[in-house]
Structure 1
Amino acid sequence: MALPGAKVMASASVPAGAFTLSRPAMLPDFADRLRDMPAFCQVKIVATPSTQSHIGIEVWLPLKDWNGRFLGTGNGGGAGMIAYEMGMVEGLKRGFAVANTDMGTAPDINQSLNKPEHWTDFGYRATHEMTRIAKLVISAYYKTSAFRAYFAGCSTGGQQALSAAQRYPADYDGILAGDPGNNRTHVAASFVWNHAALTAYPAAQMSSAQWETISQTVIKTCAGKDGGAPGDRFLTDPRQCRFDVSHLRLCQAGETSDACFSEEQIGTLRRLYAGPTNPETGERIYPGLTVGSEDQPLGPAMQGSAQWPKQQFYLFDWALGASFKPSSFDFNHDLDRVDARLSSTLNANVADLSDFARRGGKLFLYTGVADPAVPVAEVVNYYDRLTAAVGGTSEAARFARLFLVPGMGHCFGGPGVTNIGQWGEAMPVSPENDILMQLVAWTEGAKIPQQIIARKPAGTTSPAQERPICAYPAFPDYRSGDPAKATSFACTPHAKGVDQAPASRYLN
């Protein structure tokens, strides 16, 4: 097939259950998920919208029982490979034709120094090229142009989702954006802030057991008092939690224990919770660490590790070159330099999605309340800006909803009841448990759901659990009865609390 600006490199018919990964899987149960995959046509494509671009794309076409829809899926981190684990498999099982892209950063985003076309591909162009090309392939294969288009992604995929809604409002009819890294240069600045605080001196560093002690202290202080159920091991609404680091026990002179903390460690915690600010003007750059998220994956234990800079600081190398050092980064002038060079390419902060809404587009946002990488305050702030930009709550409700998932870390998992059908979790067991298909139903004319029923499978000592995930500003408040049943909760609006909204300067 001839494609403008792209080339089909290979295609093959993959029998049911025959797809395998040639690299280690990011999800431990991924091999099990592949066993019941349906048969599909696998198409590998390279797009070259610029002479410097080399964007890898895969399109999967069900050989039978296509549901008449296309699903674009997102990537994670710095991308650099096709993200099979991030929704392609589950999308195919639901009957979608699906696509994914390496975002033009293969094999490693750290190799994109001095390659501004790669920055553009990563920022937004690769996702649009994937979408454009996938639609052409689907039309040719099924001999139709009449099909709906959806996008689902989390983290970097959430940034891709919001960038598509802002820059290319005609690309998708419905968009599912999870834990979005759309404020890219400033979430990265928060990673530098945290890494610098955690590595400033050896006495500031904390063990994994100490991070667990901190989270346990937070839970003991606030769980069940913020709308959650008695016995919860997570927070429902951390904005209602009045935890302070003074609740932690100070170590006595010469004492070494995972249950106590030094003055230096207490100071580090205060800096993490406060979040990054401009040292000269006091303007907020990005929200701080959410209480109750301290021991989750991608949290402080990882952000203070030696591996973290290679994974997350690539854009500072792009903008600042050899002069960039996390320990001496200037959150005033250096960040201005980063923004001047990259914010218009990498960030997706525009909250006025009127063009997307006018086309009939529908948006679901979701995020983990215990996400330590993209704080829940950041996602709430974006949704509040969206609401204001389109004319208020009632106008926003016509096309957009936000769902906050208590006890969920970054995109999936965590101590809460977290399976709403997003990637990273098992396939949903019913439509009310499937946020993607709820979005599809709303986009295609059904009534907007006010809640998604989250599920958690039975453990060795606990029963299967259900809990409603409510449309913001409501949260699932416990009323009475068995806390493992969704009917024991009611969706109730909560006061906003402290929002830690970034200054307008850092929403560029």
Structure 2
Amino acid sequence: MYPPTHPRSRASLALPFVLPVAIAVLAACGGGGDDPAPTAQERCDAVGRTALTATTLTTAYRVSGAASAGSIGLPAHCVVTGSTNARVGVDGKNYAIGYRLTLPDDWNGRFLFMGGGGNDGSIGAATGTNVGPLDDLRPALARGYAVVNTDGGHTGGSAADFATDPLAKIDHAYNAFDKTAVNAKALIAARYGRGPDKSYFVGCSGGGRQGMMFTQRFPSYFDGVVVHAPAMRVSSGATVAAMWNNQQLTAIAPVEGGSPILSKAYSSADMALVSNAILAQCDTLDGAADGMVQNWKACNFNPAVLQCPGAKDATCLSAPQVTALQRLFDGPRNSANVKLYAGQVADPAVDQPGWRAWTLGSSTTAVPNSAYNTLMADALRWEFFTPSDPTFVALNFNIDTDPLRMAAFSSIYDTYADDRLTAYQARGGKLMFVHGLADPIFSAHDTADYFERLAANHGGLTGVQSFARFFPVPGENHCAGGRATDQFDVLTPMVNWVENGAAPESIAARAAATNPYFPNRTRPLCPYPKFAKYSGSGSLEDAANFSCADS
């Protein structure tokens, strides 16, 4: 995280109008004639004097290369922080669209917008996603990208009570991201004397929703958009599923002291049984018994195979446990049996900590701490319901009536309805979906459904793959983790597609060295509906022995 102040920081400069870019460029580059060329610090200082509508640039300082992201050194760069549309909300709180932009001295001409996540509310370091070969993944800033992050128009971290202010809800839906992108490009022009040659967006979860929002509301802003585990139906379907799943799991949880203990609905040993049963049925459908299910569309797992014939013991699941899992894999249905969201994929990584954190949590008290009960219930009561319902209790969710209270905000926030993307395709934009198959909040089935609808509107797979591709990640939980090769560079393939016309036929992926199941294993991520199939010989740890095959 960058420090909030710097020896060269200046007092805030609030400017209510936009000057022509030429003036901003002049300020960045110095005067002319016999004047000496400005130093890198002077250029950075000049960026901080750029005039942007209703914007305060609070700091502009240069980092000489000492900052780092993890153990990776970053190059010399300028950091600009600012805020736009500062105001006092109807709740009496201060609001503004905050952002941080990093501008490397050695710029490669590209701009990267990094999406947020959760309920946003804070600004990231603006170093960018990891880019490069698997043995040298480095932040995009280290490879010459200008990078921006935003807080989505409010502060306060994961808390969603900002949504009592109507404008804050609009900012979080789209306005904060629009203003951040426009201002970032103006500041880039001020620093380098020209705007970006190409612009890219990468985001996961809520950031994936933001990327899809750009393709629909602001299709001219980005040349390439990568959405990872995109929250396309977060304020409707996925949150309905979270509340439904939470009810199913709580209903079978053991009661202690008069209250259900959600985390004990399934023990770790129970979920290991489920994982092993999925592997037993589906692991070899890709030609290799390697602890991963690549051919996931062919896997039709039913937890009923684990049901105890009598009393529950360590080798089986109780009938209620089986029924609850069947409902999670099927998806939420109302009392008329209408399905309201896709079910979860039956992937062996359902036994992993990332899956448990969302569904079951770790609390051994009557107060559950699963993300369904914390993050999702909080967003629902404050932001997704219209009007907000601060007294909402997750277990009281009504599957028949409460989705109707979510429809109004879904119409401006969610991004699943536009399955044509006509304007984005027409301007030559490229779109890449990436989604972990063991994601416990946003179902990869839902992303596959969207992609298939998109394909149907563009002449089938051949037509849609000219501008959009979908790469499932077997074993990955939400955005990362699990029994997965979850380390990969999505930005370089996108750049190659946009700038060289080379659509990605696969993406190189690797498991972390600390992965307890298959450290440093490599695999190709394959474009849907293909999957990584074993050649029949060679090491199971090496991607060279796998190719993308048709289902």
**TM norm structure 2:** 0.79
Match of 1:438 among 484, 488, 493: 493
Match of 1:456 in 2: 511
Name the SS for the 2:230 alignment partner.
coil
Mapped to 2, the partners of 1:140 and 1:301 lie a distance apart of 44
Where does residue 224 of structure 1 map in the other structure? Answer: 284
1:42 to 2:79 alignment? yes
> Does the aligned pair in 2 maintain the 1:61–1:98 contact within 8 Å?
yes
For the 8 Å contact 2:150–2:180, the answer to whether it is kept is yes
Amino acid at match of 1:260: C
Taking the aligned partners of 2:274 and 2:473, their CA distance within structure 1 comes to 21
Distance 2:145 2:506 in 1: 24
How far apart are residue 317 of structure 1 and its match? 1.1
For the Cα contact (< 8 Å) 2:111–2:200, is it kept in 1? yes
Aligned residue for 1:96? Answer: 145
Show structure 2 runs of 5+ residues with no match.
1-49, 90-94, 131-138, 255-261, 362-367
**Other structure's SS at 2:82 match:** strand
Alignment of 1:372-451 (within 5 A): 372-421=440-489, 435-451=490-506
Which digits, 9 at most, give the CA deviation of each residue in 1:309-337, with x for residues without a partner? Answer: 22112332132514522222122221112
The whole-number CA distance in structure 2 between the counterparts of 1:462 and 1:163 is: 36
Quick check: 1:491 aligned with 2:542? no
CA separation in 2, counterparts of 1:44 and 1:290? 41
Q: Is the 8 A contact 1:467 1:476 kept in 2?
A: yes
Distance 1:248 1:132 in 2: 54
Aligned to 1:358: 426
Q: How does 1:176-191 map to 2 (within 5 A)?
A: 176-185=226-235, 186-191=237-242
The Cα RMSD (Å) is: 2.3
Task: Extract structure 1 runs of 4+ deviating beyond 4 A.
Answer: 457-463
1:161 equivalenced with 2:198 (yes/no) = no
User: 2:308: which partner in 1?
Assistant: 250
CA contact (8 A) 1:206 1:301 kept: no
Identity level (%): 31
1:374-407 deviation line (CA, Å, top 9, x unaligned): 2211111111111123343333122111111222
Instruction: Say whether 1:310 aligns with 2:379.
Output: no
After superposition, where does 1:2-401 map in structure 2 within 5 Å? 2-19=51-68, 31-32=70-71, 35-48=72-85, 52=89, 53-63=95-105, 65-84=106-125, 87=128, 90-108=139-157, 109-185=159-235, 186-203=237-254, 205-225=265-285, 227-230=286-289, 232-250=290-308, 252-253=310-311, 257=314, 259-280=315-336, 282-292=337-347, 293-305=349-361, 306-307=368-369, 308=371, 309-318=373-382, 319=385, 320-322=388-390, 324-340=392-408, 342-349=409-416, 350-401=418-469
Contact 1:88 1:100 in 2 (8 A): no
> Structure 1 residues 444, 461: CA separation in 2 closer, same or farther (over 3 Å shift)?
closer
Structure-1 separation of matches of 2:444 and 2:122 = 28
Q: Structure 2 CA distance, aligned partners of 1:398 and 1:233?
A: 33
| 1:59 maps to amino acid | L
Deviation of 1:246 (Å): 1.9
CA change 1:85–1:147 in 2 (3 A) is closer
Deviates more, 1:210-219 or 1:85-94: 85-94
Structure 1 residues 395 and 256, CA gap change in structure 2 (3 angstroms)? closer
Quote the offset at 1:100 in angstroms: 0.5
What's the offset of the Cα at 1:199?
1.4
SS at match of 1:59: strand
Aligned partner of 2:166: which letter?
Answer: P
Is contact 1:296–1:370 with CA below 8 Å preserved after alignment?
A: no
Alignment deviations for residues 248-268 of structure 1 (CA, whole Å, 9 cap, x no partner): 152854x564x4322222222
Q: What's 1:26 paired with? A: none
Structure 1 unaligned blocks of 5 or more: 20-29, 422-434, 495-508
Alignment-mate amino acid for residue 440 of structure 1: V
Is the 8 Å Cα contact of residues 471 and 526 (structure 2) preserved in structure 1? Answer: yes
Conserved 8 A contact 1:228-1:235: no
Matched with 1:432 is none
Paired residues of 2:127 and 2:140 also in contact (CA < 8 A): no
Distance 1:262 1:461 in 2: 28
State the secondary structure of the residue aligned to 2:326: helix
Once residues 507 and 523 of structure 2 are traced to their aligned partners in structure 1, the CA distance between those partners, rounded to angstroms, is 8
Query: Are the counterparts in 2 of residues 207 and 301 from structure 1 also a CA contact under 8 Å?
Result: no
Whichever of the two has the greater Rg, that structure is 2
When residues 476 and 218 of structure 1 are mapped into structure 2, their CA distance, relative to the original with a 3 A threshold, is: same
How far 1:221 moved relative to its partner?
Answer: 2.3
Distance change >3 Å, CA 442–CA 457, structure 1 → 2: same
When normalised by structure 1's length, the TM-score is 0.85
What whole-Å deviation, never above 9, does each CA across 1:79-126 have from its counterpart, x for those lacking one? 111133883571202210000111123114322242121211111221
Distance in structure 2 (CA, Å) of the matches to 1:180 and 1:147: 26
The residue type paired with residue 544 of structure 2 is T
| 2:127–2:147 Cα contact (<8 Å) kept | no
Q: Residues of 2 paired with 1:76 and 1:159: CA distance?
A: 9
The answer to whether the 8 A contact 1:13-1:39 is kept is: yes
Q: Note if contact 1:200-1:327 (Cα within 8 Å) is conserved in structure 2.
A: no
What amino acid is the match of 1:389?
A: N
Q: CA deviation at 1:354?
A: 1.4
Aligned to 1:465: 521
2:533/2:548 contact within 8 Å kept: yes
Tell me whether 1:480 sits opposite 2:536 in the alignment: yes
Whole-Å separation in 1 of the counterparts to 2:533 and 2:142: 34
Give me the whole-angstrom Cα distance separating, in 2, the residues matched to 1:173 and 1:141. Answer: 21
Would you say the 8 A contact 1:233–1:416 is kept in 2? no
Deviation at 1:296, TM superposition (A): 3.3
Which whole-Å CA distance do the structure 2 matches of 1:397 and 1:474 have between them? 13
Matched with 2:136 is none
